Structure 1
Amino acid sequence: MENIICACGHSNPYGTKLCEKCGRPLTEEEKQNKVVDMRYDGMAIRSKTYNKSIIDKIWNFFSSVKVGITLIIITLIAASIGTLLPQEFYVKASDMEKGAYYADVYGTFGKIYYTLGLSDLYSSWWFQILVGMLAVSIIVASLDRGIPLYKSLKNQRVKRHESFMKRQRIVAEGQVTGSAEETLDKVAQKMTEMRYSVRRDGSALLAEKGRFSRYGPYINHVGLIIFLGGVMLRLVPGFYVDESIWVREGETRAITGMDGYFIENRDFILETHDNKPQGEQVKQGVNVVAKNFQTDITLYKQPDDALPGDTENLEKVKDYSIRVNHPLKEDGFALYQMDYRLNELKQMNFELINKSTEKSLGKVEIDLTNPKKEYDLGNGSSVQILVYTPDFDGFENGEPQTKTSIPNNPAFLFKMTTPETPEGEVSFVEIMQPPLEPLGENKYRMKFAAAEMRDMSGITVRKDSTIPILFVGGVIFMIGVVIGSYWNHRRLWLQVEPDGRVLMAAHVNKNMFSMKKDLDAVTAFATLPPYIDQLEKNEASEESTNGGNKEKEGDNTL
């Protein structure tokens, strides 16, 4: 598309409404307007000029204010839906148990909520795409309007054509009382006193104040973009870690999300208040309230040349007591004490007993975390564990099932071999029920002897490298809001023609009262002709015309 050549000879890009040099209107629409549109000083806006190629259409879609507002509303609605029920982050359950938790606690609605992925909404792919589209919309809209605005304000001329001056909202025309130079000097003096920046070009003057306020919304956009970028960076590995691990007393295990680090739970300590039971504790028969619970840990780190998961030659980093609100901080990570479980089964001891004589052939000590497949009792006797279910939940198709991997209700399918029964006998043992002998009556049985208990600590591992980014984005956003809300851009053009006629025009992007206050001061000081507000004049004319028409209609009726 060809450039538009103004009558002054200046070549303007296609789509320009007002000549960049003299300010003449270049389109028929602007020529018909009594007051010109000064939002971008008549500069060409890409989204309002080009609409042919697919790139143009995509650009125009994202630069649309309606599209931006729609995306904001959809994002807010989606974010509010995520607050109807607690997010998975706040649910104290394993990944396998979370679905059952929502169904049990919140019923059918909770089950649907979890199935649709709303329980982990803010990390879902579709919510991140929505946030990304909003960020793209803000970026495109800012570039589409911000760049032309910057160019127009940076390259604005002092001298303007008479048609430009007379199409401003505030205009004045008359004869100077003194010399042109004296009038311009007085105006420049007064405007400088009022902290305007004054530029002169021969018999023309431009006084400007608060230009930076025009960039307030774009500074606002920059803050939003940085903030949304910080939100999206949470999906990038290494920027945001929020994991939970359970560590049993005496156990050393790798820290999820914290590569190369291991944690050893040396001891769990629970301190209580001896007072009356409250709330849920009454139902559970508990008559104490926790005063403090902490985990005494040792933090280890792998050598740099170690293989992943290798626990040999771990280097001790530090000993620490993790308490509520007193996390262990290391290498940008924080380890919080979030939960605990008391008296978890650690080990179960059985004896192989002759049912007729009650004689013991030996003891079997089963580590419930890592049980052996076979235990040799000597003298030709042994016990094999054919099936182990940590949390027995009945049979399905003849096979024992487990609800979780936590040893809440252990059950075993034993194969017992003795010199008297070399082919072995099979027995299914659940502590709370009599043993089952699926292959017929046995001569031997597994007798429960004792159990060892231990406590577990729930540790949350967190790292959020996006917090500084979110903070910076929020601060920049607020700076943009303040600039755009409490300052305004004021301009005054003054030209003295060779015949002694003076033309004055003024524009302000908002708060016209402040501009008129300054105009009153400079008009009185430099003895300038009185100004008029063309919008108010036009509104008054329309009201009087409408009133006259109504009177005529009334006369005709009579």
Structure 2
Amino acid sequence: MLKKNEIESNQTIIDKAGNKIWNFFSSLKLIITVFLTLAVVSIIGTVIEQGKPPDFYTKEYGEKIAHYVLSIGFHDMYHSWWFLILLALLAANIIVCTIDRFPQKWETAIEKKYGAEPRFIKNLANSAHFTVSGDVHDIKIKVAERLKKKRYKIINADAADGASIYAWKGVIGRFGSDVTHVSLILILVGAIIGNFWGFRGYVSINENDAVNAPQADFKVRLDRFWIDYYNTGEVKQYNSLLTVIDNNKEILTKQIYVNEPLIYKGTWFYQSNYGVAYDRIREAQLILKNKKENKQIGEPFKVKWYEPFKIPGTNLTVNLVGFISDFGFDEKTKQIYARSLEHNNPAIAVVIYDGDKPISDSWLFLNYPDVFATIPNSDYNLTFMGYSGLYYTGLSVNNDPGTNIVWIGSILMTVGFIFAFMIFHKRIWVNIKRGENGVDIYMGGMINKNKILFEREFSELVESLKAKWEVGK
């Protein structure tokens, strides 16, 4: 078994080690170092684009620098282990400093020092002494009333040779820094939760289409996209009418625009951009021509997307089944593709039926109307004359489970600043004693901050009391 002195020695070592650890986390050097490091790496994180694939950094910075960027984690800095450690050190410093200082603040806040002697009062930063005539009890009541008018809380006590008053207000101001520290911890926690468990994404939706919301169990449909204009012709606002579909039910419909998102189940949908779809249209305008004379037959007609249209005066039906905004054809692979998202070479895919029998499946071109225009086994050509594009909307999607925590932290921080910079702990002691020439009133006070303000307030209080008893007149 360990001897008593050995146990005490081991306990001393543990205590010393604990004190060193505590002093480390509460040190000013630590917080300065962490702040400077966070400032430097934040600048680096701004300069180096985040979340790109490894090849991007090799092309951008060269193989050697890219190796260091990827090894250290500067490419995804805010998810790196060392950045999390920096935040943990910052949080630990805030917590330890708060715990270190809180007991003394609390003791000062709840302490009710009444019955102070004149010698104590005279040594205060703000003090006064004057003599009045009257009854000690009545004087005590009048002084207490004046303090209450100034919204002080008071405790008074009677003694054999006089009375005393202790007055205070603004105790909560002492805890402004503590509330701010708690708010910082909440903001850090919320940011970490959002950083690791939230997501940011993008989704584009064609009009009348619905897509699955990223990392969610519901769909979003674009009912309509439109642009509002000023009288001058300048764009006023881009609008999307969205409907949320959850469990096959339409839950809500909302018009969104810039800075007015749709919010559902913690997921935010912001208006980001828009365009005309490259792979789909609303309808195509076609004309039927006589094959021999290449003359138009009847009026132009419109065919809607995937809605078969029977051409008047014929047994032919046209179905619009495909669209490419910039048609391209790879001769090696024999594959059709879109060369770009621009509408440089629009082409539509149509299926033509003679009665119920499909007789043609071909592409028609806006810029080359005679190419593939012939309808097999018929006397007609079909010509692509124009189309009505289909808008799509681009939505920025954001789900941050830490947002509410950050908001609570931000509100608490505001409250903490109000406590710290607008509310001050003021204390006043009054000793009332019967003397040889009347009743002596000793008054003194102190404040935890803004001493100049308190000096003026204390002086006005003393002068108002002197005026009440016409002291000095």
Aligned partner (choices 28, 34, 39) of residue 76 of structure 1: 39
Cα gap change, 1:79 to 1:58, in 2 (>3 Å): same
| 3-state SS of paired residue (1:488) | coil
Asked if residue 493 in structure 1 is aligned to residue 448 in structure 2, the reply is no
Amino acid in the other structure paired with 1:495: N
2:336: which partner in 1? 451
* Cα distance in structure 1, aligned partners of 2:72 and 2:457: 60
Is 1:469 the equivalent of 2:405? Answer: yes
Residue in 2 that maps onto 1:25: none
The one-character-per-residue Cα deviations of 1:389-425 (angstroms, maximum 9, x if unpaired) are xxxxxxxxxxxxxxxxxxxxxxxxxxxxxxxxxxxxx
Tell me which of 171, 182, 192 is aligned to 2:127: 171
- Deviation sequence 1:179-215 (CA, Å, 0-9, x none): 4334433322322222222221121111223222222
Q: TM-score, normalised to structure 1's length?
A: 0.49
Query: Which residue among 522, 529, 533 is the counterpart of 2:461?
Result: 522
1:176–1:448 CA distance, 2 compared to 1 (3 A): closer
Counterpart in the other structure of 2:85: 129
Q: Structure 2 stretches of 5 or more lacking a match? A: 1-13, 228-235, 280-329, 342-391
Classify the secondary structure of the residue corresponding to 2:398: strand
Aligned equivalents of 2:149, 2:252: Cα separation in 1: 67
Q: Which residue matches 1:38?
A: none
Q: Deviations over 1:213-268 (max 9, x none)?
A: 2222222222212211211212553xx122467999xx99976533x568999xxx
What residue in structure 2 maps to residue 186 of structure 1?
A: 142
What's the counterpart of residue 182 of structure 2? 222
8 Å CA contact 1:262–1:299 kept in 2: the answer is yes
Counting aligned pairs with the same residue, the percent is 23
Aligned with 1:168: secondary structure? coil
Supply the AA of the counterpart residue of 2:38. T
Question: Structure with the greater relative contact order (CA < 8 A, sep ≥ 6): 1 or 2?
Answer: 2
Distance in 2, matches of 1:320 and 1:453, equals 34
Q: Does 1:85 align with 2:40?
A: no
Q: Provide the alpha-carbon RMSD of the alignment.
A: 5.0
Count of residue pairs brought into register by the alignment: 343
Residues 45-64 of structure 1 mapped to structure 2, 5 A cutoff = 52-64=15-27
User: How do 1:257-272 and structure 2 match up within 5 A?
Assistant: 257-258=215-216, 260=217
1:165 is paired with a residue whose SS is helix
Map Cα deviations across residues 354-392 of structure 1 (whole Å, 9 max, x no partner). Answer: xxxxxxxxxxxxxxxxxxxxxxxxxxxxxxxxxxxxxxx
Contact 1:242 1:461 (8 Å CA) reproduced: yes
Q: CA deviation at 1:476?
A: 1.6
Tell me if the contact between 1:298 and 1:316 (Cα under 8 Å) persists in the aligned partners.
Answer: no
- Cα distance change, pair 448–470 in 1 and its aligned pair in 2 (3 A): closer
**Distance between the aligned counterparts of 2:401 and 2:34, measured in 1?**
27
Mapped contact 1:173–1:502 kept (Cα < 8 A): yes
CA offsets 1:78-97 (integer angstroms, 9 cap, x no match)? 32332223333xxxxxx5xx
CA contact (8 A) 2:127 2:444 kept: yes
Task: Call closer, same or farther: CA 1:496–1:87 in 2, change over 3 Å.
Answer: same
Distance in 2, Cα, partners of 1:166 & 1:177: 21
Kindly indicate whether residue 301 of structure 2 is the aligned counterpart of residue 331 of structure 1: no
Residue identity in the other structure for 1:72:
F
Deviations 1:259-280 (A, max 9, x none): x568999xxx999xxxxxxxxx
Gaps of 5+ in 1: 1-50, 89-94, 272-290, 304-314, 345-430, 433-446, 530-558
Distance 1:213 1:117 in 2: 43
Q: Distance in 2 between matches of 1:489 and 1:234?
A: 38
Pairing 1:478-557 to 2, within 5 Å after superposition: 478-497=414-433, 499=435, 502-527=441-466
Question: 1:242 pairs with 176, 181, 200, which one?
Answer: 200
Partner of 1:102: 57
Match of residue 362 from structure 2: none
Aligned to 2:106: 150
SS at match of 1:207: strand
Cα distance between partner residues in 2 of 1:52 and 1:219? 30
When residues 448 and 465 of structure 1 are mapped into structure 2, their CA distance, relative to the original with a 3 A threshold, is closer
AA of the residue aligned to 1:482: I
**Using a 3 Å threshold, how does the CA distance of structure 1 residues 161 and 244 change in structure 2: closer, same or farther?**
same
1:111-510 aligned at under 5 Å gives the runs 111=66, 112-161=68-117, 164-173=120-129, 176-202=132-158, 203-235=163-195, 237=197, 240-243=198-201, 257-258=215-216, 260=217, 330-334=264-268, 448-453=333-338, 461-497=397-433, 499=435, 502-510=441-449
Q: Distance in 2 between matches of 1:515 and 1:337?
A: 53
Please give the alpha-carbon distance, in whole angstroms, between the structure 1 residues aligned to 2:131 and 2:262.
79
Cα offsets for 1:451-498 (capped at 9, x unmatched): 244989987542112222212211221221123112322211111346
Cα distance, 1:175 vs. partner? 5.0
**Aligned residue identity for 1:511:** N
Q: Counterparts of 2:202 and 2:443 in 1: how far apart (Å)? A: 70
Distance 1:294 1:523, change over 3 A: closer
- C-alpha distance in 2, partners of 1:298/1:243? 19
Other structure's SS at 2:47 match: coil
1:63-114 CA-to-partner distances (Å, cap 9, x unmatched) read 34453344333333332332223333xxxxxx5xx33323434557973545
What are the superposed Cα offsets for residues 155-189 of structure 1, whole Å, 9 maximum, x if unpaired? Answer: 32212355543442223456555443344333223
